[in-house]
Amino acid sequence: MTNSNKPSTNASSGGITADDPTVYVAGHRGLVGGAIWRAFEDKGGVDLVSRASSQLDLRDRNATFEFVADTRPETVIISAGKVGGILANSTYPVDFLSDNVLIAVNLLDACHAADVERVLYLGSSCIYPKMAPQPISEDSMLTGALEPTNEAYAIAKIAGILHVQGYRRQYGRNWVSAMPTNLYGPGDNFDTTAGHVLPSMMAKFHAASRSGEPVVLWGSGSPRREFLHVDDLASALLTVLEKYDAPEPINVGTGSDVSILELAGMISDAVGGDLQVEWDRSKPDGTPRKLLDVGRLNELGWTPSIQLREGIQQTYDWYKNDVTVSS
Ligand code: GFB
């Protein structure tokens, strides 16, 4: 599948002046990093740099140190990492733990060695306990047991957050961590097995609209999730970079959620047609509810601008075109 809205492998932005601060977006070819890159490009006034994973393996400590030392960025956004849906997370815990720990440790230590002024580390809402009170406040971290399906990924992300907090306490760095809710948007991974719920469902509905076969979704449909368009995430992160400077992570979400059943209805409406849906209850439901408390972010003056229905339609239009172009 092509990804027309992704920056090139060995990326740097054009039209820059010598005075523009350098921003390194680690993971710029992923869903999140790509959106952050576009948001910085739209804003202007920065010299963007990055490398594709084929050119710089962030699990390689020496290569990572060398790149950060040579580039000497003022700001580093850590949006690189191994990500996947509920099934990928529970099937490959070693990869999710090992890759994400290595990437965070190498990059944070390299940023310290190169005296990087501002680091924004991205975690995930799955770092909070499975039964955290809703909406989930940032203070819930480490107050209870994690959801078993993505425990390895969550532990890796918690280690990164503590590492950032450690650099603040031990070395006085004003680095921060942000915890996005479930994300979606153009350029996502639409794999029906390894993908996150929204793109995975979208690919299933799209295939069913062509084949006439029933759509097979996972679990009971009753868990509730909050979904944020990745362009809204990127705009929120620019606000966080500009205005937030505290050791506690800051949640990034919309403040409202839907059931997986309701999500399926919205995706079905976007795809069109009267499609039959079956629920495979042998697949895990995961956490019953995962709604973030976004009070801290709202206090910075940021609110989302893309409604879920609108974002689903826009993402589906992109996907449909992408599938057609690549097939
Ligand atoms: O874990 P979860 O929030 O999302 O749960 P990701 C997805 C919910 O959707 C579960 C159901 O209740 C699934 O059973 N579901 C129904 C499906 N159909 C599908 C489908 O076709 N694909 C998928 N993936 N789910 C991640 C976490 O997974 O969420 C990550 O595992 C991370 O660690 C991220 O925290 C935010 O499946 O999207």
Is residue 250 assigned to a domain?
A: yes
Is residue 169 assigned to a domain?
A: yes
| Residue from 28, 127, 124 nearest 79 by CA | 28
Domain residues for the domain of 66 are 11-187+226-255+293-308
Q: What angle do CA 148, 151, 157 make, to 5 degrees?
A: 160
Question: How many domains does the structure of the chain reveal?
Answer: 1
* Helices 197-211/308-326 angle, 10° precision: 60
Is residue 61 assigned to a domain?
A: yes
Pure H helices in the chain? 31-43, 61-71, 86-91, 93-113, 151-171, 197-211, 230-243, 260-271, 295-299, 308-326
Grade residue 327 by pLDDT with cuts at 50, 70 and 90: low
Is residue 145 assigned to a domain?
A: yes
> Ligand 1: which atom is nearest the Cα of residue 88?
31
> Ligand 1: which atom is nearest the Cα of residue 153?
33
Using one digit for the tens of pLDDT, what is the confidence trace for 242-261?
999 999 999 999 999 999 99
Q: Say how far apart CA 136 and CA 132 lie, in whole Å.
A: 6
Average pLDDT over residues 57-65: 98
CATH code for the domain of 133 = 3.40.50.720
Instruction: Find the 200 Cα to ligand 1 centroid distance in Å.
Output: 9
Q: What's the full length of the chain, in residues?
A: 327
Using one digit for the tens of pLDDT, what is the confidence trace for 69-106?
999 999 999 999 999 999 999 999 999 999 999 999 99
Nearest CA, atom 12, ligand 1: 285
Q: What values do phi and psi take at 223, rounded to 5?
A: -60, 150
Q: Can you say how many angstroms the Cα of residue 294 is from the centroid of all Cα atoms in its chain?
A: 16
Token pair recorded at residue 255: 């403040």
Instruction: Find the 175 Cα to ligand 1 centroid distance in Å.
Output: 30
> Ligand 1: which atom is nearest the Cα of residue 196?
38
Res 8: pLDDT: 57
DSSP code of 279? E
Instruction: Find the 157 Cα to ligand 1 centroid distance in Å.
Output: 17
Instruction: Find the 126 Cα to ligand 1 centroid distance in Å.
Output: 11
| Residue from 106, 129, 116, 95 nearest 22 by CA | 116
Is residue 175 assigned to a domain?
A: yes
Q: Would you say 270 and 313 are in contact if contact means Cβ atoms under 8 Å apart?
A: yes
Token pair recorded at residue 291: 């709604």
253 pocket-lining for ligand 1 (C-beta < 6 Å): no
pTM of the model: 0.94
pLDDT score of 16 more than 50: no
124 pocket-lining for ligand 1 (C-beta < 6 Å): yes
Structure-derived torsion over alpha carbons of residues 246, 249, 252, 257, reported in degrees to the nearest 10: -140
199 pocket-lining for ligand 1 (C-beta < 6 Å): no
DSSP code of 13? -
pLDDT score of 2 more than 90: no
> Which amino acid type is present at position 255?
G
Q: Say how far apart CA 66 and CA 306 lie, in whole Å.
A: 39
Nearest CA, atom 17, ligand 1: 197
Question: Strand pairing of 224-225 and 75-78?
Answer: unpaired
Nearest CA, atom 2, ligand 1: 86
Q: Say how far apart CA 154 and CA 256 lie, in whole Å.
A: 22
> Ligand 1: which atom is nearest the Cα of residue 198?
38
Using one digit for the tens of pLDDT, what is the confidence trace for 168-206?
999 999 999 999 999 999 999 999 999 999 999 999 999
Is residue 326 assigned to a domain?
A: no
Q: Which of 121, 128, 153, 184 is catalytic?
A: 153
81 pocket-lining for ligand 1 (C-beta < 6 Å): no
Grade residue 5 by pLDDT with cuts at 50, 70 and 90: very low
Is residue 276 assigned to a domain?
A: no
DSSP code of 314? H
Residue from 79, 86, 183 whose mutation best tests the ligand 1 pocket (most atoms within 8 A of CB) = 86
Is residue 196 assigned to a domain?
A: no
Determine whether 153 is an active site residue: yes
